[in-house]
Amino acid sequence: MKLKDKVAVVTGGAMGNGLGIVKVFLKYGAKVAILDYDQHLDEVIKTLKNQNYDVEGYICDIRDKDKIEGVMKEIAQKFGRIDILVNNAGVAKLEAFDKMTDEVRDFHFDINIKGTWNVTKAALSYMEKGSIVNLSSVTGPMVADAGEVAYATTKAALLGFTKSLAMELVTRNIRVNAILPGYIMTPMVEGIAKDTDKENPESVVDGIAKGIPMKRLGTILELGELAAFLASEESSYITGEGIVIDGGSTLPETMSVGV
């Protein structure tokens, strides 16, 4: 129980990677507060409480700074402190750069960057020590496809945010690291597959898997295990790092050469 009685805040925890992180944290004994904009959160909280987990949900938009500050205060009053923050909430909308509106650009910037900024600043008021884990991506810092300019820009920014914040918080015994996922089977990936081929989205997922050395997409629980490691004392000498979890997808120099 490496996270026993630790108080963790997870944004975007009602589905996808966030839900995987929440489930793994609870498995390891953490008390978890989930922040999410989706009304599906109520159902998730009910299900987890029925399994006797110590979990609370807060429906909020991380773009709303005042709301986030109020939620963090409420979490701290209930649990006494915050030990772990996972900035998972994020959005991705594929669109060609020359056709992208300012509204779509700002949608990414306001949630992926400013929202993470808002949550982190509010949470730090209640953290005496602990761990912050930011969800970046291999997209942006390492690779990119057409249509991902806004998303890639924000995810690269989160890696810079992670490194600089780690330097500022190291003297407060707060570690800051980032996870750089490749393709994990999430609702976001399912949405991209449907946008690409509405009639046969499964073929898009199969095509993605063929380009990954492990020949499959990752699971949300596998990502959750990495987040739990970075949140725990098992990673006590790691800070300012971006850890890739991608099944080897960023390893090949080319997909057309082999033995």
Closest among 159, 70, 47 to 119, alpha carbons compared? 70
The active-site residue out of 28, 37, 126, 151 is: 151
Instruction: Please return the burial class of 99, using the count of CB atoms within 10 Å of its CB with bins 0-12, 13-18 and 19+.
Output: exposed
- Asked if residues 179 and 223 have their Cβ atoms less than 8 Å apart, the reply is yes
Fill in the amino acid letter for 142.
Answer: M
Give the C-alpha separation, 23 to 73, whole Å: 24
Give the C-alpha separation, 107 to 147, whole Å: 15
Q: What is the CA radius of gyration of the chain?
A: 18
Closest among 88, 119, 91 to 107, alpha carbons compared? 91
Q: Is 237 a catalytic residue?
A: no
Give the C-alpha separation, 13 to 42, whole Å: 11
Just list the catalytic residues.
151
